[in-house]
Each structure stands twice: as C-alpha cells, then as structure tokens.
Amino acid sequence: MNFSWFQLVAIAPEIVLTIGACALFLFDLAIPKHEKDKLGYFAIGILAVAFYGSWKLAAVETEIFSGMFTLDPYATYFKMLVYLAGAITILLSMTYLEIEKIHLGEYYGFILLATAGMMVMVSAGDLIMIYLGLELLSISLYIMAGFKRHESRSVEASAKYLILGSFSSAILLYGISILYGIAGTTNLKGLGAFFAAGAVDNPGLLLSMSFLVVGFGFKVAAVPFHMWTPDVYEGSPTPVTAFMSVAPKAASFAVFLRVFAEALGGVKAHWQPILITLAVATMVLGNVVAIVQTNIKRMLAYSSIAHAGYALIGIIVGGGLGTMSLMLYLMIYALMNLGAFGVVIILRKGGMRGEDIADFTGLAKKNPVAAVIMLIFMFSLAGLPPTAGFVAKFYLFMGAVEAGLVWLAVVGVLLSAVSAYYYLRVVMVMYMREPGRDFDLATSPAASLALIVTTLAVLFIGLYPAPLIDATKAAILQVP
C-alpha cells in the first residue's frame, strides 16, 4: 500500500476530531473548574473545522488505503448528519452539565471521539474498518453512559451497555471471520463480486449473515436485541441518551445498508426474510410497550426501538427508493428526537427531573412556547402532517408499496396509528390538565439555539421537503 499526501487529506476530518478530543482531555487538566463550560464552545469549533473539511471533500469519490476507506456522497451525507447531531448534543449538554454541576471537560472529548468513530464507520469499505470505527464509537458511549458516576442508575446503565455491547461486538466479529473464511476477503466490493458470481451454496453463509444481523441489530436496537435500550436510555445523562438515540443509530444503519446492499446484495433472497421478521417484531414491540411507560425517557427509548423497525423497511426495500427513504428518515428522526430530548432537559430545574410524563402537566398554561415546541416534536414522531415526520414515513411506506410489500406498509401505518396514542398523551397532559406548580425552565442561549434549529427544521422539511429530498437523492449509495 503506497502512502500519498492525498490519503492524509482524505482523512483530515477524522484526524481533526481525534486531535481535538485529545486537546480537550489536556485542557480539562489545566482549566479552572468554573471555566470548563467554555470547553463546549471549543468542541463545537472542532466540529466546525471537521465539517468544513468534509464539505470540501464532498465532491470527491475515491477509495484509499487499498479500498478500506471510501469517499463518496453517501458517506458525506451521513457525516453531515453526525456533525449536526454532535453539535446539537453539545449545545444541550452545556445546559445540562451546568444544571447537574458536572464540570468534566473530557465529556466533550468523548463526544468528538464517538463522532470520529461514526465517520470511520460510514466511510469504511472493509468489514475490519467498520469494526474498528464501531469499537471507537462503542467505547466512547460506554464511558459517556456512566458519566454521572455518583448516581447508581448511570453506573448501572454503563455496566449493562458495556457487557451486552461486548457480546454483540464479539458476535459481529465472529460473523466477519466466517464471511472471510467463505469469500477470502473482507472488502465490501470484493464480497459483492464474490456473491454476485453465484457462490452462495456454502452452509456457513446463513450463519455468518445471522451473526452480522445480531451485531448490527444490537446497535440499532432492533428486536430481540433491544433489551439494553430502555435501561441505558433511562439511566444515562439525558444529552447522552439523545445522542445515542440518533447519531450511533444513523451511523449503524448506514453501515447496515452498505454491507447488505454492497457486499451481500447477491444473496438478498437469504437475508430479506430475516430483516422482514425483525422489522415487524421491532415495530410491534416498540409501539406496544411504549404505551404503558410513565417515564418519558423510557417512552422515547421504546419509541426509538419502533423507529428502528420503520427504518429497517428501507433496507428491506433496497434500490434507489429504499435507500433514499432510509437516508431521509434518519435525518428527520435525528432532528425531531434531539428536539424532544431538548425539551426534557430544559424542564430539569428546581428539584424537578423532567423525566416523568406527569412533569409536563399543565405546561401549556405556564409556558406555552415550550409546550408548542414539544407538541411539534410529538406530532412529528407520530408522523402527523405538516411535520417532517409525516414526510419521512410517507416515503418509507411508499417504497414498501412500490417494492410489492404492501402488507408491510399496512403494518407500518397501523402501528404508526398506535404510536399516536402515547405521543399525543404527552400533548394531552400539557394542554388538558391543570398545572400543579410553576415551571422554572432551565433555558440558556445554547439550549435555545438547539431547540430553535430543530423546531424550524422539522416544520420547514414538513412544509417544503424538496431540498432535503434532492440532497438525499444525490447521495444515494451506488451499488455496482
């Protein structure tokens, strides 16, 4: 493998994020505690520099490091999604950490490392590179989940995530090793060529694909690999929960699609029934169990599980429409879910945790602006017009219909109707019940900016989705 300066330039955004994270770890040791809140702005600055680098490389389509790292519009699209999620998470975290009196600068460093891991994942052209990016992401999340180390729920969340995540990573690695034994390569295009040639009679193929499904299914919280999600989401610091629910999920789906469309597209008949079963089970369990939740973080956890089921439809459908609908769905889901968690964070003040649905009682009468913002996000998560959530689900279900999977689209629509119950329950509590106390919201310029961006984006995309749809179509994964 010959090294060139272009290869260094191609991975410059990842290098910037890694160096920025290391700098944050060092600054945390030198900066006084009362000034550590400024490290959040430094982290956003690092994200901005990396974003600029990725933007300048957006028109480049090439492979480097012997095909292990890929630059293409598909990877760039998901990098932009990850940057957006990371920036909004940092803005929300600046408010949350001040409320909780947590003055640890390395928190932002781990967000940057997790972002770097996800960027490696979405650009990976080889299963080994995917695994390395996934582990960098996972280790950062294990630490972030337990950041409130003096709170038992946070420590428990971190421990559960670490143990179960380690098992899923081991299973994924075993699946990769079996696939290598069958095809003699871990390069995605090499695997695609191998299976396109008709070499599909190996009995280990189904076992390997099953292990890959387990590994990726755990990362996207698909049933039955979802068991970690409610406890980890509830116990983790709320901005970490928000981040975990969107960015790693989007990056994992990006890899999921790239592996199964590019490497295993020739054996789609083998894995499509498996994913259909997972999608239906995930949609059913996520929506049904969310109905009985009283903690809003657990409700959003099961909601996240259900949304993973919807997103799986995009992989099942495949082709241009399936890929476009999945990419569109993940971008919109990131905006509306981060916004919903943002409202939860600003309610966390004055002895109130803001994590129970009952904490929203009468919010509309005391703070109508916050109530309207939460209403918009609940409507969008339910898939109601004129919000972005409606656009996302419309294209997913339309893709299923055009692929001849009408029954799957019908199941998705029916379960979306079920989801409206628990989303609208939050709206009912805010608007149809009398407040039992005053609301002292933990507003700040950073949190306000995050909520303004997400709210306007959800409304704008819902009313005028054409720009995002065009951008998504231009970035569709091209499978040879």
Task: Identify which has the larger pLDDT, 384 or 150.
Answer: 384
Helices (H), 291-318: 296-317
Per-residue pLDDT tens over the stretch 211-260:
999 999 999 989 888 888 888 888 888 899 999 999 999 999 999 999 98
Pick the closest to residue 78 from 220, 320, 311, 251 (CA basis).
251
Tell me what pLDDT residue 307 has: 93
Pick the closest to residue 255 from 120, 60, 142 (CA basis).
120
Token representation of residue 392: 């996302």
Task: Identify which has the larger pLDDT, 204 or 1.
Answer: 204
What's the CA dihedral at 189, 75, 311, 326 to 10 degrees? -100
Contact 329/310 with Cβ under 8 angstroms?
A: yes
Mean pLDDT for 3-23 is 87
| pLDDT higher than threshold 60 for residue 350 | no
CA distance 164 to 177: 20
| Confidence band for 354, pLDDT divided at 50, 70 and 90 | low
Tell me what pLDDT residue 476 has: 82
Pick the closest to residue 370 from 354, 385, 384 (CA basis).
354
Residue-range domain boundaries for the chain: 5-474
Pick the closest to residue 305 from 278, 291, 285 (CA basis).
285
Which residues, in sequence order, are CB contacts of 358 under 8 Å at separation 6+?
A: 294, 429
Mean pLDDT for 332-361 is 82
- CA-CA-CA-CA torsion sign (359, 376, 425, 400): negative
Query: From the CB of residue 15, how many other CB atoms can be counted at a distance below 10 Å?
Result: 14
- Measured in degrees and rounded to the nearest 5, phi and psi for residue 187 equal -70, 130
Task: Identify which has the larger pLDDT, 262 or 102.
Answer: 262
Task: Identify which has the larger pLDDT, 308 or 432.
Answer: 308
| Confidence band for 437, pLDDT divided at 50, 70 and 90 | low
Pick the closest to residue 443 from 433, 434, 432, 451 (CA basis).
451
| Confidence band for 469, pLDDT divided at 50, 70 and 90 | very high
Per-residue pLDDT tens over the stretch 69-82:
888 899 999 999 99
| pLDDT higher than threshold 60 for residue 281 | yes
Per-residue pLDDT tens over the stretch 174-183:
999 999 988 8
The CA-atom distances, in angstroms, between 190 and each of 38, 265, 286 are 47, 12, 36
Place of tokens 């749809």: 469
| pLDDT higher than threshold 60 for residue 200 | yes
CA distance 238 to 44: 19
Q: Are strands 62-64 and 69-71 parallel, antiparallel or unpaired?
A: antiparallel
Find the largest Cα–Cα distance for the chain.
69
Pick the closest to residue 138 from 24, 305, 251, 23 (CA basis).
251
Mean pLDDT over all residues of the chain?
A: 88
CA count, 13 A, side-chain hemisphere, 128: 9
Helices (H), 197-295: 204-220, 229-235, 238-258, 268-290
Give the angle subtended at the CA of 257 by the CAs of 137 and 475, to the nearest 5°: 95
CA distance 81 to 102: 27
Place of tokens 């690092």: 46
Tell me what pLDDT residue 283 has: 94
Tell me what pLDDT residue 382 has: 92
